[in-house]
């Protein structure tokens, strides 16, 4: 027994004398892109700082991503980057105790299992993977961590990792509507364009905006017709100077450097200007990046509605027969734009329309995505007739749509436990009707039939017409006289020729 105690005491002395600095040099980490830091998030958990872009990380790793720029998160475009738009986005959480903190970012098996391959830095203003630098590559394996002490003893750190204190599992955020990426930038007419870019150039088929700041006003964007455009981001290079600009007074591409000739743009279409701009920038160290941009009329859709209980969803006071319509859909307006909803607008008067209008705001997560929304509309079924009713949705800058939904009533002899006698939809009350019947109201324009009106001519008009007829007749008579004289001359000449020939024959 004493020998065992002495052996344990000796082992404690060896461990106590081990220098912490040797952990980094003795750890058998094969990937040279890792450097162990001294700021572990969990006890006994090494944190690896990425010293190179695209380093391989493993499930359960904790990595330090602070050396990779000021990006806002990470985006995954598929195992082989085969998708054009992100299939999964992680926003950083700078809470020091969060697993999404870039200082100590946890490769969570819940998130990264099934999402191996490259993950890219995400800046929140682009959905093109070539616009983001690669951050790391996930390998769906668990690293076998070992620790070698100066005396040669090897400890399997994986056994310790199993028993570490884990952060509380994150509750996944409810998906109101799936993301719908459309293009690089989607803008509705009537809005401004706000980006975090230094300079912006916009080129269309007939119109363009040259050498603008990252904020383009509503008035500037309104000069463009609705359609497709190329938006070019311009940033300074290593010399921190933007070397190609536009002088609106002379309508020329210019450069601050002597010896670089300006290019006049008079009479050139925007797409031709784009080619000249690209060629001029190619001779400098300016950084440019091109995105697709769609400029559209404002629009809104109603993609689904569901009948739900009031519960704690809204502040509306409950009344017998009250229920809620959970209405959701998409729009192309900017984040925070007000959206309005009215039930049966044709049955409302000027006073009740304000009382029965419900609002929410558009939610836009990326410049190129459609915005989505959710609104709870209270309905008292006991006060509604059994017929088809209408929801009208519209945005504060224009665009609207209608969706119809029925209110029905069960037969008197039916019995369904825990069900209301009246319900929304044409099926059982607890079965939602996710796809509403959508109709677009067309504006009817009445065109009055044009009836011709006959106005009698004046005396002067009659005299003028009569004189034209007389003049035409005189010209015809003069033409006949001239023709007759010419004909007589020709006949006389022919007679003289025949007479001369006859006399010559007699001699």
**Can you give the pLDDT at residue 457?**
63
Higher pLDDT, 131 or 224: 224
In terms of Cα–Cα distance, which of 424, 349, 439 is closest to 393? 439
In this predicted structure, the answer to whether residue 420 has a pLDDT above a threshold of 70 is no
In terms of Cα–Cα distance, which of 340, 321, 316, 318 is closest to 329? 340
In this predicted structure, the answer to whether residue 158 has a pLDDT above a threshold of 80 is no
**Can you give the pLDDT at residue 429?**
43
- d(CA 142, CA 57) in angstroms, rounded, equals 9
**Can you give the pLDDT at residue 171?**
47
- d(CA 313, CA 126) in angstroms, rounded, equals 34
* Cα distance from N-terminal residue to C-terminal residue, the chain: 177
Higher pLDDT, 297 or 499: 297
- d(CA 397, CA 331) in angstroms, rounded, equals 11
Instruction: Identify the residue whose tokens are 């311009």.
Output: 234
Query: pLDDT by residue (tens digit) across 32-63?
Result: 333 444 444 444 467 888 767 788 898 888 88
**Can you give the pLDDT at residue 400?**
93
Higher pLDDT, 260 or 24: 260
Q: Can you give the pTM of this predicted structure?
A: 0.52
Q: Which helix or strand (DSSP H or E) is residue 270 part of?
A: helix 270-281
**Can you give the pLDDT at residue 147?**
58
pLDDT band at 156 (very low <50, low <70, confident <90, very high): low
**Can you give the pLDDT at residue 440?**
53
**Can you give the pLDDT at residue 383?**
83
Would you state the torsion angle of the CA atoms of residues 362, 364, 367, 370, taken in this order, to the nearest 10 degrees?
Answer: -70
In this predicted structure, the answer to whether residue 343 has a pLDDT above a threshold of 70 is yes
Query: pLDDT by residue (tens digit) across 216-228?
Result: 999 999 899 999 9
**Can you give the pLDDT at residue 414?**
52
What's the mean pLDDT when you consider all of the chain? 76
**Can you give the pLDDT at residue 43?**
42
Higher pLDDT, 116 or 125: 116
Higher pLDDT, 338 or 490: 338
Query: pLDDT by residue (tens digit) across 354-388?
Result: 778 899 999 998 889 999 999 998 888 788 888 88
**Can you give the pLDDT at residue 126?**
56
- d(CA 27, CA 37) in angstroms, rounded, equals 13
Instruction: Identify the residue whose tokens are 């940033």.
Output: 235
Asked if 43 and 94 touch (Cβ cutoff 8 Å), the reply is: no
Integer angstrom CA distances of residue 337 from 178, 381, 462: 19, 30, 68
Task: Return the structure tokens found at 185.
Answer: 């930038």
Provide the residue ranges of all domains of the chain, joining segments of one domain with +: 23-162, 190-296, 304-439
Higher pLDDT, 373 or 149: 373
Least confident of 125-139, 154-168, 361-375, 389-403: 154-168
Give the mean model confidence (pLDDT) for residues 82-96. 80
Asked if 36 and 27 touch (Cβ cutoff 8 Å), the reply is: yes
Query: pLDDT by residue (tens digit) across 430-482?
Result: 344 445 655 555 444 444 445 444 556 666 766 777 777 777 777 777 888 88
Higher pLDDT, 47 or 138: 138
Query: pLDDT by residue (tens digit) across 230-285?
Result: 999 998 888 888 999 999 999 999 998 877 789 999 999 999 999 999 999 988 88
Higher pLDDT, 129 or 385: 385
In this predicted structure, the answer to whether residue 486 has a pLDDT above a threshold of 70 is yes
**Can you give the pLDDT at residue 394?**
96
pLDDT band at 331 (very low <50, low <70, confident <90, very high): very high
CATH code of the domain made up of 304-439: 2.60.40
Higher pLDDT, 12 or 406: 406
pLDDT band at 125 (very low <50, low <70, confident <90, very high): low
**Can you give the pLDDT at residue 173?**
60
**Can you give the pLDDT at residue 228?**
95
């Amino acid at each position: 027994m004493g020998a065992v105690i002495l052996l344990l005491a000796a082992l404690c002395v060896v461990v106590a004398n081990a220098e912490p600095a040797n952990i980094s040099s003795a750890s058998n980490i094969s990937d040279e892109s890792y450097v162990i830091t001294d700021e572990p998030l969990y006890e006994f958990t090494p944190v690896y700082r990425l010293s190179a872009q695209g380093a391989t990380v493993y499930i359960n790793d904790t990595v330090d991503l602070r050396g990779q720029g000021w990006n806002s998160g990470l985006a995954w475009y598929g195992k082989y980057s085969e998708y054009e738009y992100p299939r999964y986005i992680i926003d950083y959480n700078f809470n020091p105790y969060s697993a999404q903190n870039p200082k100590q970012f946890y490769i969570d098996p819940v998130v990264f299992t099934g999402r191996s391959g490259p993950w890219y830095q995400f800046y929140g203003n682009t959905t093109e993977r070539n616009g983001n630098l690669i951050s790391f590559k996930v390998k769906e394996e668990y690293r076998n961590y070992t620790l070698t002490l100066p005396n040669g003893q090897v400890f399997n750190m994986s056994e310790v990792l199993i028993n570490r204190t884990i952060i509380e599992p994150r509750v996944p955020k409810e998906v109101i509507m799936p993301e719908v990426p459309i293009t690089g930038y989607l803008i509705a007419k009537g809005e401004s364009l706000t980006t975090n870019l230094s300079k912006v150039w916009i080129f269309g088929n007939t119109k363009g905006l040259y050498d603008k700041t990252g904020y383009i006003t509503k008035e500037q964007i309104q000069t463009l017709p609705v359609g497709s455009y190329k938006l070019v981001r311009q940033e300074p290079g290593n010399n921190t100077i933007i070397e190609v600009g536009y002088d609106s007074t002379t309508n020329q591409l210019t450069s601050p450097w002597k010896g670089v000739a300006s290019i006049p743009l008079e009479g050139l279409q925007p797409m031709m200007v784009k080619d000249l701009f690209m060629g001029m920038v190619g001779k400098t160290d300016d950084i440019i990046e091109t995105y697709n941009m769609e400029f559209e009329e404002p629009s809104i859709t109603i993609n689904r509605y569901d009948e739900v209980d009031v519960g704690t969803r809204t502040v509306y006071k409950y009344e017998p027969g009250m229920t809620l319509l959970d209405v959701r859909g998409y729009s192309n307006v900017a984040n925070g734009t007000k959206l309005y909803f009215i039930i049966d607008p044709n049955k409302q008067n000027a006073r009740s329309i304000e009382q029965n209008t419900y609002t929410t705001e558009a939610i836009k997560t990326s410049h190129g995505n459609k915005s989505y929304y959710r609104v709870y509309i209270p309905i008292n079924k006991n006060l509604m007739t059994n017929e088809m009713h209408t929801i009208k949705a519209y945005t504060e800058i224009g665009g609207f749509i209608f969706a119809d939904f029925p209110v029905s009533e069960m037969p008197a002899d039916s019995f369904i436990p825990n069900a209301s006698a009246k319900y929304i939809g044409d099926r059982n009350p607890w079965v939602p009707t996710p796809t509403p019947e959508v109709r677009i109201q067309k504006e009817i324009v009445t065109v009055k039939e044009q009836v011709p009106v006959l106005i009698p001519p004046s005396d002067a008009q009659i005299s003028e017409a009569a004189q034209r007829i007389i003049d035409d007749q005189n010209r015809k008579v003069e033409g006949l006289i001239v023709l007759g004289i010419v004909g007589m001359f020709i006949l006389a000449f022919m007679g003289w020729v025949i007479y001369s020939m006859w006399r010559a024959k007699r001699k």
